[in-house]
Structure 1
Amino acid sequence: MNKKLLEGIIDMHVHTNPDIRHRRYDDFELMEAGIRIGARAIVIKTHQGTTVDRAYLCNKHNELTHHSDNNFTMFGGITLNRQMGGINPYAVESALKLGGKVVWLPTQSARNHLVKMKQPLDRCVDVLKDGKPVPELYDIFRLVKDFNIVLATSHISPEESYRVIEAARDAGVKKIVVTHPEWWLVDMSLDDQVRLARDYDVIHEHCFAQPLGGGKYKSNLPMNLEAIEACGYKNVMVCTDGGQVENPCWEDALAQYIQYLIDHNIPENQIYHMTHTIQANLLDLSI
């Protein structure tokens, strides 16, 4: 693999400790891994709330320990699960004022997640009511638009995604990411991915692997290749959704992903676009 493809790379979906579920790296360890491979940025995510303050501490730690001898930046965001009060514009406003770059809709509190996992619905956070976005979601659309940051669909269903994306576009939201549409829990068809890319110019985030239960994971790479070919590389973003102890460490997963694309004849300029350019545009970064 051309190691230069890792230089300046940006991953917008990685899980770290501290977390209720143990992760392979903590925030600082992931930061060091990013610096080692010459990454430009990583966005850390948690299902428990916000990572904005954790990203700030990583950047301060980087400044103090590496004395600004690298170009790496850690970013955070907010996930609108029950712990954050669900669809809570006040929590979103605070996160964005503190530098958050992504608003993730509900993950483990999403109705679709709870139904698919056969879990009780008493902690459900709904994004729709009577087929329309809940009123608070429009306030969040306004904040996302005003701060020019990313709205990510997380674990909501394809049907919910369509309605939310349409309403978000109508509200002026420019940066919309469909979160791991290939994951069995989201289960968005390739036809639907193509339609969303064509009609709403969304970015589909395709990740390295997906959980099957019992500590086992399934590679997403064949499905991701199909999505790139069907949707076009300009609408597919390479991410890892890394951090699981069962998977390779973050930088190895990234290298394997890129090598797979090379081995299947995806041109390096397209790989660069999916690993650098899309993310830089979403995060307003120079690369």
Structure 2
Amino acid sequence: MDKVSLKGVIDLHVHSHPDIRERAYTDFQLMEAGRRVGARAIVIKTHHGTTMDRAYLVNEYNKKVYGDNNFQMFGGITLNAAVGGFNVVAVETALKLGAKIVWMPTTYAENHLKAYGKIGGIKCIDKNKRVLPEVEEIIKLIIKYDAILGTGHISPEEIFILVKRAKEMGLNKIVITHPEFWVVGMSHEDQIKIVKEYDVYLERCYAQPMGGGVYKSNLEDNYEVIKKVGCNNIIVDTDGGQVENPNWEIAFEEYMQYLYDRGISKEELEIMTIKNAAKLLGIE
């Protein structure tokens, strides 16, 4: 069968150095990989703060070395302990500096810590299952700055409550962060339901960590969900950058080829790897 092309692809979720754990690429090496394969954009993510400032510097370097071109990096903020959790000032500052995605807590979410046998962490909702006031303030800022809400590693229960409230408040750019990740643990039925009820995007990633440096391929499960949900509400991302997995561009190509070889058309791939993400980033 034909080979897929990475020309124009966008990945909303890639990890790179500097980071607390080892990563396969630095920000600059990731930019070089993106340029090399003809990608349109990459959003770099960290669990420990912000990345829009890093993306800005990489873009300036890219322009200085290569001149004006079509590749861009973007960044965001993740609301873990390193930024004070639901820190409204930190979020507004990040958005003013160009952050495109605000991720709810990931490695510091109560749901994440509980999955690893730990206590503590952050929840988006109170004991009455209402979205916290500070989270609502953050949603208002995401709307104001036309950014994207990523649900992070919170529980399916929190996801449904958060998404319902965010939609009520007028937010339409919502991405369910790798719902297949065992820590998040969203069933196929819940993924279908949340798309049907709220018209959100499911971010389906290349692989997931099982602990101890072991990663499990998501490709078969991704294919099954795409067939059930349809391409219009799917974002094909890698969550790449781990030294245990193939380099970002290799993983992305393998992911796309897997889907194409099983009957997903190039038009459908374009929607899931380019058009949906471009619409969310505002770079159509």
Q: Tell me whether the two structures share a fold, i.e. TM-score over 0.5.
A: yes
1:205-216 mapped onto 2 (5 Å cutoff)? 205-216=203-214
- Unpaired runs of 5+ residues, structure 1, are none
- For 1:103, give the aligned amino acid: V
Contact 1:5 1:272 in 2 (8 A): no
CA distance 1:185–1:253, shift in 2 (3 Å): same
Match of 1:232 in 2: 230
CA distance 1:98–1:2, shift in 2 (3 Å): farther
For this pair of structures, how many residues does the alignment match? 283
Match of 1:89 in 2: 88
Match of 2:177 in 1: 179
Cα distance in 2 for residues equivalent to 1:14 and 1:220? 16
- For 2:206, give the aligned amino acid: F
Does the alignment pair 1:60 with 2:60? yes
Contact 1:132 1:163 in 2 (8 A): yes
Match of 1:118 in 2: 117
- For 1:254, give the aligned amino acid: F
- Partner of 1:184: helix, strand, or coil? coil
CA distance 1:247–1:4, shift in 2 (3 Å): closer
After superposition, what is the alpha-carbon deviation per residue over 1:32-60, rounded to whole angstroms, capped at 9, x for unaligned? 00000010000000000100100000000
Contact 2:4 2:256 in 1 (8 A): no
Match of 2:274 in 1: 276
- Unpaired runs of 5+ residues, structure 2, are none
After superposition, what is the alpha-carbon deviation per residue over 1:83-131, rounded to whole angstroms, capped at 9, x for unaligned? 111011111100000000000000011010000011231xx12211121
Contact 2:112 2:183 in 1 (8 A): yes
Query: Could you tell me which of 187, 190, 193 is aligned with 1:189?
Result: 187
Cα distance in 2 for residues equivalent to 1:8 and 1:263? 20
Contact 1:106 1:156 in 2 (8 A): yes
Report deviation, 1:174: 1.1
Cα distance in 2 for residues equivalent to 1:74 and 1:238? 17
Cα distance in 2 for residues equivalent to 1:138 and 1:36? 40
Cα distance in 1 for residues equivalent to 2:30 and 2:105? 24
Cα distance in 1 for residues equivalent to 2:67 and 2:268? 34
- For 2:173, give the aligned amino acid: K
Match of 1:42 in 2: 42
- For 1:23, give the aligned amino acid: R
Contact 1:44 1:74 in 2 (8 A): yes
Contact 1:50 1:77 in 2 (8 A): yes
- Give the TM-score of the pair, scaled to structure 1: 0.97
Report deviation, 1:226: 0.9
1:68-87 mapped onto 2 (5 Å cutoff)? 68=68, 70-87=69-86
Contact 1:116 1:185 in 2 (8 A): yes
- Give the TM-score of the pair, scaled to structure 2: 0.98
Cα distance in 2 for residues equivalent to 1:16 and 1:27? 6
Contact 1:148 1:174 in 2 (8 A): no
Report deviation, 1:2: 5.2
